[in-house]
Chain A
Amino acid sequence: MLKTLLDETEIRLKPSDSKNNRYIYFNVPEGTEKLFITYSYSPKILEDKEKSYTLIRENILRDAPEDIDRYTDYDEFMPLKNLVTLSLDSPFGFRGAAHRHDEKQYHEICKDFASPGFLKGEIFKGQWRLSLNIHAVVTDICTCRIKIEGEAEK
Chain B
Amino acid sequence: MKKWYPCELHCHTLHSDGSFTVKELLETAGARHLSGICLTDHNTVSGWDEADLYPDIPVLKGTEYTTYHGHILSLDAGKTIDCFNITDIDKELFTIRESGGLVGMAHPYQLGTPICTGGRWNYDVKDFSLVNYMEIWSEGEMLMTPANQRAKKWWLSLLDKGYRITPTFGRDWHRTKGNKLTGACTLLHIDGEITPEKMKEAVKAGRTQLSLGIILDVSTGGKSVGDTVQNGKSVFDISLDHTRADLFKDEYTLTAEVIKVITKENKTVYEGPFKKGKITLLLEKDSYYIFELWGKLNGEGNHLISLLAPIYTKK
- Listed in ascending order, the chain A residues whose CB lies under 8 Å from chain B are 18-21, 55-56, 59-60, 62-64, 66-67, 70, 77, 80-81, 83, 85, 87, 94, 96-101, 114, 116-119, 131, 133, 135-136, 138
Shortest CB distance A89–B (Å):
9
Complex partner residue of A101 from B17, B44, B112, CB under 8 angstroms: B17
* Interface check B303, CB cutoff 8 A: no
9 new A-B pairs (CB below 8 Å) besides A62-B112, A114-B46, A119-B45? A20-B68, A55-B114, A59-B113, A80-B115, A97-B44, A117-B41, A118-B44, A135-B68, A136-B114
Which residues of chain A come closer than 8 Å to B41, judged between CB atoms? 99, 117
Docked Cα-Cα span, A101 to B18, in Å, equals 10
The residue on A at minimum CB distance from B16 is: A99
Docked Cα-Cα span, A133 to B14, in Å, equals 18
* Interface check B255, CB cutoff 8 A: no
In the complex, the number of residue pairs spanning A and B with C-beta atoms less than 8 Å apart equals 87
| Contacts A21-B85, A70-B146, A117-B15 given; does A59 touch B69 at CB 8 Å | no
| Contacts A18-B113, A80-B115, A116-B15 given; does A131 touch B44 at CB 8 Å | no
Contact B111 A59 (CB under 8 A): yes
| Contacts A94-B79, A99-B44, A116-B46 given; does A77 touch B146 at CB 8 Å | no
| Contacts A63-B120, A80-B115, A135-B68 given; does A21 touch B17 at CB 8 Å | no
Contact B113 A19 (CB under 8 A): yes
* Interface check B54, CB cutoff 8 A: no
| Contacts A67-B146, A116-B15 given; does A135 touch B46 at CB 8 Å | no
Contact B15 A63 (CB under 8 A): no
* Interface check B42, CB cutoff 8 A: yes
* Interface check B140, CB cutoff 8 A: no
| Contacts A64-B147, A67-B146 given; does A87 touch B84 at CB 8 Å | yes
| Most chain B beta-carbon contacts within 10 A, residue among A63, A83, A101 | A63
Shortest CB distance B46–A (Å):
5
B262-291 interface bits toward A, Cβ cutoff 8 Å, 1 = contact, 0 = none: 000000000000000000000000000000
Contact A100 B16 (CB under 8 A): yes
Docked Cα-Cα span, A55 to B113, in Å, equals 9
Docked Cα-Cα span, A7 to B140, in Å, equals 47
Which residues of chain B come closer than 8 Å to A81, judged between CB atoms? 114
Docked Cα-Cα span, A67 to B147, in Å, equals 9
Which residues of chain B come closer than 8 Å to A66, judged between CB atoms? 146
* Interface check B35, CB cutoff 8 A: no
Shortest CB distance A115–B (Å):
9
Contact B79 A135 (CB under 8 A): no
Which residues of chain A come closer than 8 Å to B14, judged between CB atoms? 116
* Interface check B109, CB cutoff 8 A: yes
Shortest CB distance B172–A (Å):
13
| Contacts A19-B68, A21-B85, A70-B146 given; does A63 touch B42 at CB 8 Å | no
Contact A56 B115 (CB under 8 A): yes
Contact B111 A97 (CB under 8 A): no
Which residues of chain A come closer than 8 Å to B44, judged between CB atoms? 96-97, 99, 117-119
Q: Which 7 A-B pairs rank lowest in CB-CB distance, beginning with the nearest?
A: A99-B42, A135-B117, A19-B68, A136-B114, A97-B43, A100-B17, A99-B16
Which residues of chain B come closer than 8 Å to A60, judged between CB atoms? 111
Shortest CB distance B173–A (Å):
15
